């Protein structure tokens, strides 16, 4: 499969070129920033209550939420990459099988 540039991939109306693998790192950074800001917001909101128990619960909740969110994000993005790898490999297998059918002597 031919590799196109990022903007050429955006204008690929046949969807033969996937841009997800090129964007996955950027999506990861944006989502990590959102998770950090959400966790900090949870922490600040809970710390505003002022009691010692609320502060302790806030810290634990923010850390646990952060860890679970980052783990879920990473697994989800890796699953997306795996799906696109499967698509690439399936395309290669199909191309190889077409080539073998067209040239039976070349496949042996």
Assessment of whether the complete model's pTM goes beyond 0.75: no
Which positions ≥6 away from 107 have C-beta within 8 Å? 99, 100
Residue-by-residue pLDDT tens, the chain, 108 positions: 456 666 676 677 776 777 777 889 999 999 999 999 999 998 888 878 778 887 888 889 889 999 999 999 999 999 999 998 898 899 899 989 998 888 877 655
What distance lies between CA 95 and its chain's CA centroid? 27
For the chain, which residues make up each domain, given as ranges? 6-102
């Amino acid at each position: 499969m031919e590799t196109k540039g990022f903007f050429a991939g955006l204008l690929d109306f046949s969807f033969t070129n996937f841009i997800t693998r090129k964007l996955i790192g950027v999506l990861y950074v944006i989502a990590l920033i959102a998770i950090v800001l959400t966790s900090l917001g949870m922490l600040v909101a809970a710390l505003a209550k002022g009691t010692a128990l609320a502060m302790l619960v806030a810290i634990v909740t923010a850390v646990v939420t952060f860890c679970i969110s980052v783990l879920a994000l990473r697994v989800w993005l890796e699953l997306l990459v795996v799906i696109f790898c499967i698509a690439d490999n399936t395309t290669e297998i199909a191309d190889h099988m077409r080539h073998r059918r067209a040239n039976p002597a070349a496949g042996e």
